[in-house]
Amino acid sequence: MTTIASISMSVDGFVTGPDDRPGQGLGVGGERLHYWVFGGPWTYDGDHDPDAMSGEDKAYYDGLIERIGAGIVGRGMYEAAGAWGGENPFPGTLVVLTHRIGDPHDESFTFVDGLDRALRLAREAAGDKAVSIGGGADVIRQALAAGEVDELCLSTAPVVLGTGKPLFDGSLELDLEPLAVHQSRWATHVRYAVTR
């Protein structure tokens, strides 16, 4: 079974701008990282049209989503996204990795403590499809450090944020082999095999 880690980032390696929080999940200026998701500029206060994705962005996203049977995200991403309004927006079961499993939460999600348990549950739920590991950066770093990621998918937006949460913190050394590239005005999406 394939395990895929995917995330959007800036050219200088940040996955959020500063001050990411509920209602501003990508931080100050970080919404530019997801212009590709919404087909162009958007703001936290404005409407977001998830059906506006097109061209190479949509080809990349559709190709990724059709492979996924379950996913894992961190509690920070879950909260910053406002729990997606209580509805899992991704294919299959979504496991939320958290140390606070006793907190009230929505039954649309499975809350667990520990990456090993999260991976086991997601792999069971995925069947013969892939498991996707999404944000935040800490969850992806944990999975990479544990040798649990087969494929790393990076959507790099053509912006420099200067500050925020970095994807890499200097604790990992990886060898990657490019598998596919999709490029649009809003992002360059690269699928890498993690070869170590």
One digit per residue, the tens of pLDDT, for the chain of length 196 reads: 899 999 999 999 999 999 988 888 899 999 999 999 999 999 888 877 778 999 999 999 999 999 999 999 999 888 888 888 888 888 899 999 998 876 656 667 899 999 999 999 999 999 999 999 998 899 999 999 999 999 999 999 999 999 999 999 998 999 999 999 999 999 999 999 999 8
The side-by-side arrangement of strands in the sheet containing 3-10 is 110-112, 93-97, 68-74, 130-133, 3-10, 151-157, 188-194, 176-183
SS3 content of the chain, % helix, strand, coil (to 5): 30, 30, 45
**Domain of residue 44, residue span:** 3-194
CA 195 to each of CA 75, 133, 180: distance values in angstroms, whole numbers, following the listed order: 28, 17, 15
Taking the C-alpha atoms of residue 192 and residue 116, their distance in angstroms, rounded to an integer, is: 23
Whole-model pTM over 0.85: yes
Taking the C-alpha atoms of residue 70 and residue 58, their distance in angstroms, rounded to an integer, is: 20
Do 67 and 92 contact (CB within 8 A), yes or no? no
Task: Output the pLDDT for position 106.
Answer: 64
The number of residues making up the chain comes to: 196
**Count: domains in the chain:** 1
Hey, which residues does 3 pair with through a beta bridge?
Answer: 131
- Give the domain CATH number at 14: 3.40.430.10
Taking the C-alpha atoms of residue 68 and residue 94, their distance in angstroms, rounded to an integer, is: 11
